[in-house]
Amino acid sequence: MKKIILVPVMAVLLSVNSLSYAQESAIEETVQEQPAVEKVSKKKRKAKEENVVPVLELQGGVDETRSAPEEIEEAASPLKSWLEGDYATGDWGGARSRLEDRGVTFEAIYMTDIFQKLHGGSQVSKYPAKAFGALDTAIILETEKMGLWKGGTATVRFQHAHGWGLNERYIGAYQYVNAFDVGPFTHLAEFWYQQAFFDDLIEIKVGKQDACYDFMTLDLATNFVNNSHAWFMPNVPLPAYPDQALGLVLKVNPTEWLSLRSGWYDGNARGGVSPFSTAFGGDKASFLIQEIGVRHKRGNMPGTILAGGWLHTGHVEEFDTGEPRAQTYGWYFEAEQMLWKEKKDYPEDTQGLYILGQVSMAPENRIEASKYYGAALMYKGLFKNRDEDVLGIGTAIAQFSRKLKGIDGRSGGENIIEAFYKIQVTPWMSLQPTAQFIHRVNGYNTNAFTLGLRTTITF
């Protein structure tokens, strides 16, 4: 190849040399005739020659370091690549990307919350600051990328939590002010396999799993810190963190915007306990749930609507009569809709104003908070050059059963008002200050106010 290139290159060199000799002869004649402009002509020639790419460099292409030094400098910056990457541990020298291309994905997220109670709560005289941390790691296998069969996904997830938050001892709210504040534990949280059929028209998922990944969860609502907005409503006994359960889920996706889901789960699941001992022992209670999901766009503005019903077959006693019942049940409805979009002509852009609404009902003689209402506003990318930041404010109201007043004195509703600003520092790290005011904690005549900071790092 070098010999083939050498012939035209030599021809170009001879042509350029001949042309340069002719140009120099012409210039010398001109200079002799016009000596007054000699200095100017030489300066122009020198400036022109400095901008000419040497012909020999054409053999390997134009020297890009001359035309785009900034690009080379940016590409060579390891700090910039790390800060703009998806993971705090980087791409492992390319090994991570190669594994993902072959169907093996590693996930690791560490989250820590620091909360300070400033007023009220169950222990009014104490205003402590508490720290809580949780580690979530998973291995995800995709059979098609692994060269096996199409449509298969397997997940194994491990979770560890340490420390205590404020709610259990110092606030006592019925709705947890921190969705992950459940005390220390270590367990194998999930192990399940999912198979898709007919180009994802039908999906079947079996194994120990967190029901929040398939039911009752809205996209932006998970940015809230309190549990009612973020994951599931407080009057639904959904088998979720930290009490994941053995279950079977059937999903039917007739169109891109419509989803029909049905789930069966162990109704006695408890975190840290073998799922097989609870699923096949005791009263063999089950939790059944059905959900219809609609994802739509209104003028390039996305929205999600979820509606469903649930049934728990475990034995429960009525509050007022003490009579045992073989089951309890309820229904729910929630929606998330974009109201205003910054870039209306860009369908994929997600910056703008969103609204969230929730309602859930259950029998008032079997569930303490028989009614629940939630509402929130969120704005993504409010400030310039902060496109991934999220600002939110919302209220979550757990309305207690009227039958509880004569039993333990609780009445009315508990209302949590939360405001937060999530700062996406890098793609793999976020800081989220939050403030929560709890009105009528657990249905009693006491209020509480907390401040907190959540840090999340994806490794």
Tens-digit pLDDT profile for residues 15-37? 434 434 444 444 344 334 444 33
Residue 98: its H or E element:
helix 95-101
- Name the residue with higher pLDDT: 72 or 188: 188
pLDDT of res. 77: 84
pLDDT of res. 73: 47
Distance (Å, rounded) from C-alpha 441 to C-alpha 224?
A: 19
Mean pLDDT calculated for residue range 334-341: 95
pLDDT of res. 279: 76
Q: What pairs with residue 181 in β-bridges?
A: none
Q: Which amino acid is at 208?
A: K
Residue 455: strand, helix, or coil: strand
- Are the CB atoms for 121 and 439 separated by under 8 Å? no
Tens-digit pLDDT profile for residues 338-379? 999 998 888 888 999 999 999 999 998 889 999 999 999 999
Q: Which of 294, 313, 291 is nearest to 302 (CA)?
A: 294
Distance (Å, rounded) from C-alpha 322 to C-alpha 318?
A: 5
Distance (Å, rounded) from C-alpha 336 to C-alpha 315?
A: 34
Q: Which amino acid is at 295?
A: R
From residue 153, alpha-carbon distances to 35, 105, 283 in Å are: 83, 11, 32
Confidence class for position 431, pLDDT limits 50, 70, 90 = very high
Q: CA 49: distance to chain centroid?
A: 56
Does the pLDDT of residue 393 top 70, yes or no?
A: yes
Cis previous bond, 242, omega within 30: yes
Those residues whose C-beta lies under 8 Å from the C-beta of residue 428, and which sit 6 or more positions away, are: 85, 86, 87, 88, 457, 458, 459
- Radius of gyration of the chain measured on its C-alpha atoms: 32
- Are the CB atoms for 141 and 103 separated by under 8 Å? yes
Tens-digit pLDDT profile for residues 157-175? 999 999 988 888 889 899 9
Give the percent of the chain with pLDDT over 70: 82
- Are the CB atoms for 178 and 452 separated by under 8 Å? yes
Average pLDDT, the chain: 84
- Name the residue with higher pLDDT: 162 or 41: 162
pLDDT of res. 67: 45
- Cα torsion 110, 115, 121, 126: sign: positive
Range in 56-60, 110-114, 139-143 the model is least confident about: 56-60
pLDDT of res. 76: 54
Tens-digit pLDDT profile for residues 144-160? 999 999 999 999 999 99
Fold of the domain spanning 189-458: Porin (2.40.160)
CA dihedral 401, 402, 406, 411 (to 10 degrees): 80
Does the pLDDT of residue 326 top 50, yes or no?
A: yes
pLDDT of res. 12: 34
Does the pLDDT of residue 206 top 60, yes or no?
A: yes
Domain ranges of the chain: 2-75, 189-458
| Residue ranges of E strands in 313-412 | 316-317, 324-325, 328-341, 352-361, 371-380, 390-399
